[in-house]
Amino acid sequence: DVKVTQSSRYLVKRTGEKVFLECVQDMDHENMFWYRQDPGLGLRLIYFSYDVKMKEKGDIPEGYSVSREKKERFSLILESASTNQTSMYLCASTSGGGVKTQYFGPGTRLLVL
């Protein structure tokens, strides 16, 4: 069965802290994505990666960075958390080539105080 896991379901951090969100998929997928989901705005793409060590900016990359050192793991980093980064963060993956649906992790609800 397809599985995408995220390191935490809930996180509370303080303004200015460095935050790491980790995502792991066990499907050998080439492509991995980080979204944030806010009420009324839907899912917005932060970054995606189509291969190890490769990354592309999405629609809202400011304030975030990513790391993909291994195929199965895609990390989202908030260098200095701010209150406007309070949100639900969803990781997704899909295999390369053709049109394929995305498989999502359970999400991390981040609160920045």
Partner 1 sequence: GQNIDQPTEMTATEGAIVQINCTYQTSGFNGLFWYQQHAGEAPTFLSYNVLDGLEEKGRFSSFLSRSKGYSYLLLKELQMKDSASYLCAVKGDNYGQNFVFGPGTRLSVLP
Q: List contacts with partner 1 (CB under 8 A).
A: 4, 31, 33, 35, 40-45, 48, 50, 56, 58, 90, 94, 96, 99, 101-107
Residues sharing a CB contact under 8 Å with residue 95, sequence separation 6 or more, in sequence order: 27, 28, 29, 30, 31
Distance, in Å, from the CA atom of 42 to the CA atom of 90, rounded to the nearest integer, reads: 11
Residue 106 CB, nearest approach to partner 1 (Å): 5
Nearer to partner 1, 52 or 80 (CB): 52
Residue 18 CB, nearest approach to partner 1 (Å): 25
Residue 15 CB, nearest approach to partner 1 (Å): 25
| Type of residue found at 104 | F
User: Hey, is 58 helix, strand or coil?
Assistant: coil
